[in-house]
């Protein structure tokens, strides 16, 4: 049983009409692979469930329309940039997210277990997942939640490893829905997968794109507040924002960086 409170269905202003939207997708009896940004786990605990709650409208909508969901997200930074080695640890597990969703949605999710290489993480999605998909189609479970995408060797790899992982993901589902606006990195689970399945924008992604209108076509005076824990990926965008705003307010690590 997947308990819900209704979902969104209206097209939002400012959305490029060329973008395929979830409300236009045929989801009945389809397995739907949903990429979300549930990266809210710190040291094995959820500090703030906002990012999870923000995707519920998309999940409700899929189930209401007869779809069956497989969810995937990244959690933390598990890959050493120097060596490429991947750490698979409880601190970066999706289990806390799954427990939260089960309480929130009154349904059961299964997290498949795959063999883990001590240095290269999960090297492939093996056929053991087929039993879970069978249970999903038979409505014996409410959904499948894949392990942390960054535990998989192919997620941030290049070449054959990446393509193999992408094809394994595509083989799980009939439709792909991207609802992870915050996961902008061009990884296998965000970009490559869209080349292999009919792909649609979820409601959260649509809202974020709609909200960009306020940045591109702002009312004056225009004040931007930018904060967060990462600064290296924000320096470039900050330079562009600075050209558009009347006032720029910094916080968090970004503010400390500029102080130094």
Domain of 96: which CATH number?
3.40.50.1260
* Distance of alpha carbon 223 from alpha carbon 211, whole angstroms: 15
What does the DSSP 8-state code read for residue 11?
P
- Residue 163 covered by a domain: yes
The residue out of 211, 227, 245 marking a domain boundary is: 211
Lowest-pLDDT range of 48-62, 93-107, 133-147, 203-217: 203-217
Give the pLDDT score at 41.
Answer: 95
Q: Are residues 234 and 148 in the same domain?
A: no
Query: How many domains, in total, are found in the chain?
Result: 2
Structure confidence at residue 70 (pLDDT): 99
pLDDT confidence band for 67 (50 / 70 / 90): very high
Please list, residue by residue across 151-179, b when 16 or more beta carbons sit within 10 angstroms of its beta carbon and e when fewer do. bbbbbbbeeebbebbbebbbebbbbbbbb
Express each pLDDT in 165-174 by its tens digit.
Answer: 999 999 999 9
Does 69 score more than 70 pLDDT?
A: yes
Q: Helix, strand or coil for residue 209?
A: helix
Q: How confident is the model at residue 211 (pLDDT cuts 50, 70, 90)?
A: confident
DSSP state of 21: B
The answer to whether residue 207 sits within a structural domain is: yes
Tell me which residue range forms the domain holding 237.
Answer: 218-259
Backbone angles phi, psi at 145, to 5 degrees: -120, 110
Could you tell me if residue 196 is inside a domain?
A: yes
Tally of CB atoms within 10 A around 17? 6
- Mean pLDDT of the residues in the chain: 91
CA–CA separation, 187 vs 75, rounded Å?
A: 14
Question: What is the structure's pLDDT at 9?
Answer: 53
CB of 107 closer than 8 Å to CB of 144: no
Q: What is the mean pLDDT of residues 61-85?
A: 96
The helix/strand/coil state of 125 is coil
Q: What is the pLDDT of residue 4?
A: 54
Domain shared by 249 and 177, yes or no: no
pLDDT at 232 over 80: no
Q: How many other β-carbons are positioned within 10 Å of the β-carbon of residue 57?
A: 22
Cα 210 from Cα 132, distance rounded (Å): 36
The region of weakest confidence among 157-161, 194-198, 211-215, 223-227 is: 211-215
What is the average per-residue pLDDT within 64-73? 98
Could you tell me if residue 40 is inside a domain?
A: yes
- What pLDDT sits at residue 226? 86
The pTM of the full predicted model, rounded to 2 decimals, is 0.86
Strands 116-117 and 121-122: antiparallel
Distances (CA, A) of 27 to 67, 86, 153, 196: 5, 35, 30, 17
Tell me if 32 is assigned to some domain. Answer: yes
Would 7 be classed as within a structural domain?
Answer: no
* 62 and 189 part of one domain: yes
């Amino acid at each position: 049983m997947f308990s819900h409170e209704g979902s969104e269905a209206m097209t939002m202003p400012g959305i490029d009409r060329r973008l395929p939207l979830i409300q236009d997708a045929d989801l009945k009896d389809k397995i739907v692979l949903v990429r979300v940004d549930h990266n809210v786990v710190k040291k094995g605990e959820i500090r703030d469930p906002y990012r999870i709650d923000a995707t519920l409208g998309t999940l409700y909508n899929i189930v209401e329309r007869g779809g069956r969901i497989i969810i995937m997200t990244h959690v933390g930074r598990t890959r050493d940039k120097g060596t490429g080695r991947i750490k698979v640890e409880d601190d970066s597990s999706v289990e806390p997210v799954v427990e939260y969703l089960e309480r929130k949605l009154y349904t059961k999710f299964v997290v498949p277990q795959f063999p883990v290489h001590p240095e290269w993480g999960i090297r492939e999605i093996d056929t053991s997942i087929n039993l879970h998909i069978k249970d999903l189609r038979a409505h014996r479970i409410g959904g499948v939640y894949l392990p942390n995408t960054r535990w998989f060797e192919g997620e941030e790899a290049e070449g054959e490893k990446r393509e193999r992982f992408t094809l394994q993901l595509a083989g799980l589902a009939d439709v792909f829905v991207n609802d992870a606006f915050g996961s902008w990195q061009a990884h296998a689970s965000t970009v490559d997968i869209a080349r292999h399945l009919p792909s649609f924008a979820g409601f959260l992604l649509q809202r974020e794109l709609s909200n960009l209108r306020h940045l591109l076509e702002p009312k004056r005076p225009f004040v931007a507040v930018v904060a967060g824990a990462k600064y290296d990926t924000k320096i470039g965008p900050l330079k562009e924002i600075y050209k558009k705003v009347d006032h720029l307010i910094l916080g968090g690590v970004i503010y400390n960086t500029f102080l130094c």
